[in-house]
């Protein structure tokens, strides 16, 4: 599988990668999914301290035991929670970040984290303090690189100007083209990579797209109505072929922009994982097909998330 450089770092991530949030809490099942992904050539696993209140990190850590040289581990911080308690609050403080990283290391059973990401962020945060926390962790060798997970253009711009982030994780798909409007080119120009999450748009951009529109699109999605989603998905699926599944179309679409280093998909079952691994057997997407897919949806601007 092709690997892309993550920003200016020396990390090279597989062009499709596994978002671990959907794995559930069955340890054996999660281990099997992760091992199959690694065997297929995926080398980036994305988790967070918040997922299942730390259990997700623990499962990932157990699954990659004795496989450390095969994986790049990304996790996230910023949502302050107490294990066993419901709810959390936003805390991007230096104190919390430098304390919580130790807990993530313990749960993951690792000596260092490859990519440590701020799990959100607002323009009201003490951004310089947050950056200082990550820089110090990097200097200490506790993390190799850091990034942010955010869809807020104004927040992203501040980190581009003021920090040494190597990546930004953001929601991006054919049905959510907001990053195209004001973020992707900015990051590309600064040699900062995108980790594209949600590339299948809740499964609506997959071989089971129409089924997922019925399950998850009844109330619409972003600026699209239920009826629009049905029509769009029917058109989208018409571009499938013997060599390219719906899942592959969706993944290749987001990877077409040079800022995107990897498309991060979730999988709650081996079946879902295998559906996305069909990507590996498909030819590259040419410009003509890319243009036709883009015509299905419309550009959308960030409104509330600034």
Lookup result for tokens 């997407």:
285
Q: What is the DSSP string of 213-255?
A: HHHH-TT-BTTB-HHHHHHHHHHHHTT-BTTB-HHHHHHHHHH
* Long-range contacts, stretch 202-208, CB < 8 angstroms, 24+ apart: 204/175, 204/229, 204/233, 205/173, 205/174, 205/175, 205/233, 205/236, 205/246, 205/247, 205/249, 205/250, 205/253, 206/246, 206/247, 206/250, 206/275, 207/237, 207/240, 207/245, 207/246, 207/247, 207/275, 208/246
Q: What Rg, from alpha-carbon coordinates, does the chain have?
A: 19
Catalytic residue among 51, 159, 175, 253: 51
Q: Look at residues 147, 146, 212, 145 and name the one whose alpha carbon lies nearest to residue 173.
A: 212
Known catalytic residue: 290?
no
Instruction: Work out whether strand 167-171 and strand 193-197 pair parallel, antiparallel, or are unpaired.
Output: parallel
Distance between CA 83 and CA 217 in Å, rounded?
A: 33
Show which residues are catalytic.
51
């Amino acid at each position: 599988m092709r690997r892309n450089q993550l920003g200016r770092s020396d990390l090279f991530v597989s062009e499709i990668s596994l978002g671990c949030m959907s794995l559930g809490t069955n340890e054996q099942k999660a281990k099997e999914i992760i091992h199959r992904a690694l065997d297929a050539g995926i080398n980036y696993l994305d988790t967070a301290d918040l997922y299942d209140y730390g259990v997700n990190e623990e499962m990932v850590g157990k699954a990659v035991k004795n496989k450390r040289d095969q994986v790049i581990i990304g996790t996230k911080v910023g949502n302050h929670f107490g294990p066993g308690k419901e709810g959390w609050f936003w805390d991007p403080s230096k104190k919390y970040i430098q304390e919580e990283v130790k807990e993530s290391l313990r749960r993951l059973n690792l000596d260092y984290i490859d990519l440590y990401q701020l799990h959100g962020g607002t323009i009201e945060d003490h951004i310089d303090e947050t950056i200082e926390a990550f820089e110090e962790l990097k200097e200490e060798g506790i993390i190799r690189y850091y990034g942010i997970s955010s869809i807020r253009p104004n927040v992203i711009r501040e980190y581009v100007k003021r920090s040494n982030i190597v990546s930004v994780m953001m929601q991006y798909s054919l049905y959510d083209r907001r990053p195209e409007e004001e973020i992707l080119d900015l990051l590309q120009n600064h040699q900062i990579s995108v980790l594209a999450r949600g590339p299948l748009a809740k499964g609506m951009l997959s071989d089971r797209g129409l089924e997922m529109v019925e399950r998850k699109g009844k109330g619409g999605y972003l600026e699209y109505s239920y009826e629009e989603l049905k029509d769009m998905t029917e058109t989208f699926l018409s571009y499938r072929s013997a060599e390219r599944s719906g899942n592959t179309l969706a993944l290749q679409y987001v990877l077409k922009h040079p800022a995107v280093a990897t498309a991060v998909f979730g999988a709650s079952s081996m079946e879902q994982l295998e559906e996305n691994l069909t990507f590996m057997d498909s030819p590259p997407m040419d410009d003509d097909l890319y243009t036709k897919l883009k015509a299905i949806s419309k550009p959308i601007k960030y409104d509330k998330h600034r």
